[in-house]
Amino acid sequence: MFRVASDELNSRVPDGPLQEKWDRHRFNLKLVNPANKRRFNVIVVGTGLAGSSAAASLGELGYNVKAFCFQDSPRRAHSIAAQGGINAAKNYPNDGDSVYRLFYDTIKGGDYRAREANVYRLAQVSNSIIDQCVSQGVPFAREYGGTLANRSFGGAQVSRTFYCRGQTGQQLLLGAYQALMRQVTTGKVRMFPRREMLDLIVIDGAARGIVVRNLESGKLEVHIADAVVLCTGGYGNAYYLSTNAKGCNVTAAWRCHRRGAYFANPCYTQIHPTCIPVSGDYQSKLTLMSESLRNDGRVWVPQQKNDVRVAADIPESERDYYLERRYPSFGNLAPRDIASRAAKERTDAGFGVGETGLAVYLDFRDAIARDGEDVIRRKYGNLFHMYEKITADNPYRMPMRIFPAVHYTMGGLWVDYNLMSNLPGLYVLGEANFSDHGANRLGASALMQGLSDGYFVLPSTINDYLATASLPRVVEDHPECTATMVAAETRLKKLVDTNGSRSVDSFHRELGLLMWDYCGMARNREGLQEVIPKIRDLREQFWKDVRVPGSGKGLNQSLEKAGRVADFMEFSELLAIDALHREESCGGHFREEYQTEDGEAARQDDDYSYVAGWEFEDVGEEPVLHREPLNFENVTPTTRSYK
């Protein structure tokens, strides 16, 4: 199934005590003299929180930046959809928070599968992110006295989440987008919207450019630079149905992987416990109901199996508040992986609610009785409104019906402490990298990580590479550029010319179902062994029978989707292989063979305390496993307990 390399991946984590690593490292990194910065060109692919913040900050430093996104405007990146909030260790509520506690919660929340040094840096930088965003005019929620307000999120017992109603991602992204637009005005950043990255150009072993398709004209373009920064988001849409935007894809990351970048921990996928359940087979995506709702909502199912009474008719004594029952100290704020599996456990056992039985209740009755409807409306109004629009039910009157859905991907391209992949000159930021969340991400930590990477980490680390790499000049008709462009063109042509009988969506749905059934909330050896050949078969059928109407000229949305689905078909196989190889349960990766008596994940630290970095061989060939051992010098991995 796979081969194991004997080398160890070098994370380049600096020496010294945890608290001093980042400072010392920044001191030791080479700088680029201000006047020389304008001689360097950097490509940033993606304009979500990670990409916009990186591109704007690099522009401010004086680099020449080209930024790319596939939407018609950089402001529409998927980060815009984040609802609940962003963490920081400000300790404004005076409830015992600290940089160390945020670090500790994140490491523990990730089930001890993340790098200590990265996570500590993230916690250190978290406070500057809030300051930066406030100064940009991000309208964070305030207390009556005008100071910043906080709320709680899963996996923490302190209140450290900053938020803008239920639109935190939108407001943070608009802050970063506006900083980016300002740099476009200064001329330091050139923005290329409606461009899809189709391949990475590697020259003499270093990342030197990209091939993109102009989605409006259909033309392929080559762009050259001294470094390429990938900020292209997560791969949750491998499952077809997810909370991700429709355009989210693995293409950019996968194409870099095919060019030599290692893909780390692809099996770490996060299933979010609170999403609106599937309603029919036409369903095109799933909608998240923010985790912040679990601050005030109580999760329950009937104590009786297959109870058909409406929620209001079920008396208190016949309700099972199973999170509060199983995890008394964290209750409804148990981390996502745990809350999702607990919902699956109840519905599998026949206690689910709603037409399909694949749902549980999230009930605000008690919170409304306690605080009044107005307070609840002020906190969650837009989420309740969204729920009502989709389901036609009023959550002020009856509990929401929710079910877990694919939401976030902790895995991603492997990067070292500098956020550089194993390919020199290729940096990976935000959800696209694997770096900080281990096997499970805590709520409100992705926004923090994207902005930490883009505002603060990359602008410090990239200087060192540019100052020392002594890269030869390349031009756009370099043979490697031409070859990469021709390869992309050939592939597009093949997709159009196949002219089979099935639509791209029908293949994507089928792949998604396979992944959800065999590689979803719970996995086991047999299932994984079964699904790998199924994915291969489906991929073969795809290339024989896909129908992409129209041509490569001009806007062709079927062609865009086809390219993405083709990459998901290759990527999903690696995801399954990684899940099969990891003979343990940790965080979002739950292997049924490895669980405790009461059904909790059982890690196997002796054998699997490492990052799995996969090297690409060829489609359908055995990938090669490179390991990066995880060393815990500050916290001792224990069995996570939220009881």
Partner 1 sequence: MSSDTLKLTLRVWRQSGPEDQGDFRTYRLEGVSTHMSFLEMLDVLNEKLIADGEEPVAFDHDCREGICGMCSLMINGQAHGPDRGTTACQLHMRRFRDGETITIEPWRASPFPVVRDLVVNRSALDRVIQSGGYVSVNTGNAQDGNCIPVASAKQEVAMDAAACIGCGACVAACKNASAMLFVSAKVSQLATLPQGHAESSKRVVNMVAAMDNEGFGSCTNTSECEAACPAEVSVSHIARLNREYSKAILFADS
Site for ligand FAD in 237-296 (CB under 6 A): 243-244, 248-249, 251-252, 288
How far apart are the C-alpha atoms of 468 and 255, rounded to whole Å?
Answer: 26
For residues 279 to 308, the per-residue mask of contacts with partner 1, x marking binding by CB under 8 A and - elsewhere, is xx-xxxx-xx--------------------
356 binds, among partner 1, ligand FAD, none (CB under 5 to 8 A by kind): none
Binding of residue 550 to partner 1 (CB under 8 A): yes
Instruction: Outline where DSSP puts E strands in 189-336.
Output: 189-192, 195-203, 206-214, 220-224, 227-230, 263-264, 269-275, 298-302, 319-320
CA proximity to 458, closest of 424, 417, 413, 409: 417
522 binds, among ligand FAD, partner 1, none (CB under 5 to 8 A by kind): none
Q: Scan residues 107-136 and list those touching partner 1 (CB under 8 A).
A: 128, 130-136
Binding of residue 555 to partner 1 (CB under 8 A): yes
444 binds, among partner 1, ligand FAD, none (CB under 5 to 8 A by kind): ligand FAD
The one among 20, 23, 95, 143 contacting partner 1 by CB under 8 A: 143
Q: Scan residues 337-366 and list those touching partner 1 (CB under 8 A).
A: 355
Q: What is the DSSP string of 62-94?
A: T-EEEEE-SSSSGGGSGGGG--S-EE----TT-
DSSP 456: I
User: 298-302 and 412-413: which strand pairing?
Assistant: unpaired
Contacts of 521 (CB under 8 A, 6+ apart): 271, 340, 341, 344, 404, 590
CA proximity to 424, closest of 471, 460, 458: 471
For residues 421 to 450, the per-residue mask of contacts with ligand FAD, x marking binding by CB under 6 A and - elsewhere, is ---------xxx-----------xxxx--x
Whichever of 82 and 276 has its CB closer to ligand FAD, that residue is: 82
Binding of residue 588 to ligand FAD (CB under 6 A): no
Whichever of 56 and 201 has its CB closer to partner 1, that residue is: 56
CA proximity to 51, closest of 157, 154, 193: 193
Q: Near partner 1 by CB under 8 A, which window of 76-84, 251-259, 296-304, 340-348? A: 76-84
140 binds, among partner 1, ligand FAD, none (CB under 5 to 8 A by kind): partner 1
Contacts of 360 (CB under 8 A, 6+ apart): 299, 300, 301, 343, 346, 347, 352, 353, 401, 402, 403
Q: Scan residues 147-186 and list those touching ligand FAD (CB under 6 A).
A: 168-169
Numbers of helices and strands, H then E, in the chain:
18, 20
Binding of residue 404 to ligand FAD (CB under 6 A): no
Whichever of 50 and 203 has its CB closer to ligand FAD, that residue is: 50
> Which residue reads 């749905």 in tokens?
509
Backbone φ and ψ for 569, nearest 5 degrees, come out as -65, -40
How far apart are the C-alpha atoms of 366 and 296, rounded to whole Å?
Answer: 8
CA proximity to 165, closest of 82, 99, 260: 82
Binding of residue 214 to partner 1 (CB under 8 A): no
51 binds, among ligand FAD, partner 1, none (CB under 5 to 8 A by kind): ligand FAD
In the complex, the smallest distance separating the C-beta of residue 53 from ligand FAD, rounded to whole angstroms, is 8
For residue 461, the tally of other CB atoms under 10 A from its CB is: 20
In the complex, the smallest distance separating the C-beta of residue 443 from ligand FAD, rounded to whole angstroms, is 6
In the complex, the smallest distance separating the C-beta of residue 156 from ligand FAD, rounded to whole angstroms, is 13
> Do residues 52 and 77 lie in contact, with contact meaning Cβ atoms separated by under 8 Å?
yes
For residues 58 to 77, the per-residue mask of contacts with ligand FAD, x marking binding by CB under 6 A and - elsewhere, is ----------xxxx-----x
Binding of residue 33 to partner 1 (CB under 8 A): no
Backbone φ and ψ for 591, nearest 5 degrees, come out as -100, 120
For ligand FAD, the binding residues (CB under 6 A) are: 45-51, 68-71, 77-79, 81-86, 168-169, 195-197, 231-233, 243-244, 248-249, 251-252, 288, 407-408, 430-432, 444-447, 450
